[in-house]
Amino acid sequence: QVQLVESGGGLVQPGGPLRLSCAASGTIYSINAMGWYRQAPGKERELVARIPSAGSTNYADSVKGRFTISRDNAKNTVYLQMNSLKPEDTAVYYCKADLMTTGRIRRYYWGQGTQVTVSS
C-alpha cells in the first residue's frame, strides 16, 4: 500500500508565495519521477511541474520563473514553491509519483489534492 499525503494549500493574496509538500509512504522500493498537477473548475487536469530521479525538471509555460519543484529523496517528499501567485493559479493541486513497489510493480499514484486559492 502506498500513500501520498499533500499539505500546504490555502488562501493567498495575489503576488504572494505558498509552498506545497507531498510525502510518499508505504511499500515503496524506489521512486522514479514525482510531479505536481492542477485542476481548475471546468478544466482538465494539467501538468504544473515534474522532477525525475535524474535529469532536468520541466514546467508548464504558465509557471516558469515563478514555481520551483524540488525533492528530498531521503524523505520521499516533493515540494512546490510557488511565488508571484496569480488568480489563475487557483486550482486543486495534486501530487503524482511514478514508483516501483517493494513487489517490483511499477505504477503511479495520486495524492488526494490540496486547494490553492489566490484572491484578494
pLDDT for 41-62, tens place per residue?
Answer: 999 999 999 999 887 899 999 9
Whether 87 shows a pLDDT value over 90: the answer reads: yes
Mean pLDDT of 92-110: 95
Burial class of residue 60 in the structure, from the number of CB atoms within 10 Å of its CB (0-12 exposed, 13-18 middle, 19+ buried): middle
What pLDDT, on the 0 to 100 scale, is given for residue 76? 95
Label residues 75-100 b or e (16+ Cβ within 10 Å = b): ebbbbbebeebeeebbbbbbbbbbbe
